[in-house]
Amino acid sequence: MTTPHERLRELGITLPPPPPAAASYVQTRLASIGDGQSLIYVAGQISREGDKVLTGRCPDQVSVEEATRRARLCALSILSQIDAAVGLDSVFEIGQLIGFVLSAEGFGEQPKVMNGASDLLVEVLGAAGKHTRAALGTNALPFSATVEVAAVAVVSTG
Amino acid sequence: MTTPHERLRELGITLPPPPPAAASYVQTRLASIGDGQSLIYVAGQISREGDKVLTGRCPDQVSVEEATRRARLCALSILSQIDAAVGLDSVFEIGQLIGFVLSAEGFGEQPKVMNGASDLLVEVLGAAGKHTRAALGTNALPFSATVEVAAVAVVSTG
Amino acid sequence: MTTPHERLRELGITLPPPPPAAASYVQTRLASIGDGQSLIYVAGQISREGDKVLTGRCPDQVSVEEATRRARLCALSILSQIDAAVGLDSVFEIGQLIGFVLSAEGFGEQPKVMNGASDLLVEVLGAAGKHTRAALGTNALPFSATVEVAAVAVVSTG
Task: Locate the DSSP E strands across chain B.
Answer: 28-34, 37-46, 48-49, 52-53, 91-102, 132-138, 147-156
Q: What is the pLDDT of residues C88-112, one digit of tens each?
A: 999 999 999 999 999 999 999 999 9
In sequence order, what are the residues at sequence separation of 6 or more whose Cβ sits closer than 8 angstroms to the Cβ of residue B1?
Answer: none
pLDDT of residue C18: 92
Residue A56, judged by CB atoms within 10 A of its CB (0-12, 13-18, 19+), counts as middle
B50-75 per-position pLDDT tens digit: 889 999 999 999 999 999 999 999 99
Kindly report the number of other CB atoms within 10 A of residue C127's CB atom: 7
Q: Does B158 touch chain A (CB under 8 A)?
A: no
Backbone angles phi, psi at A125, to 5 degrees: -105, -5
Q: What end-to-end distance do the CA atoms of chain C give, in Å?
A: 21
pLDDT beyond 80 at A1: no
Nearest to B130 among C26, C100, C139 (CB): C26
What is the average per-residue pLDDT within A150-156? 98
Inter-residue contact B23 to A115 (CB < 8 Å): yes
Q: What is the pLDDT of residues B25-37, one digit of tens each?
A: 999 999 999 999 9
Of B35, B96, B118, the CB nearest to C24: B118
A131 vs B29: CB contact, 8 Å cut-off?
yes
Sorted by sequence, the CB contacts under 8 Å of residue C133 that are 6+ apart come out as: A23, A25, A43, A44, C96, C97, C98, C99, C114, C118
CA nearest to A94, candidates A116, A78, A77? A78
User: In chain C, what are the domains?
Assistant: 4-156 (3.30.1330.40)
**B106: Cα separation from own chain's centroid:** 25
What pLDDT is recorded for position A59? 98
How much is the pLDDT for C127?
A: 93
d(C-alpha A77, C-alpha C59), whole Å: 29
**C-alpha closest to that of C149 among C104, C82, C88:** C82
* ipTM, 2 dp: 0.96
* Amino acid identity at C67: A
The 8-class DSSP code of residue B14 comes to P
Cβ distance of C108 and A140 shorter than 8 Å? yes
C-alpha–C-alpha distance, residues C104 and C144, integer Å: 13
Identify the pLDDT of residue A2: 87
pTM for the structure as a whole? 0.97
Q: What is the pLDDT of residues A101-123, one digit of tens each?
A: 999 999 999 999 999 999 999 99
Chains in contact with B, where contact requires at least 3 CB pairs less than 8 Å apart: A, C
Q: What is the mean pLDDT of residues C108-135?
A: 96
Closest partner CB to A35 (pick from B34, B42, B141) = B34
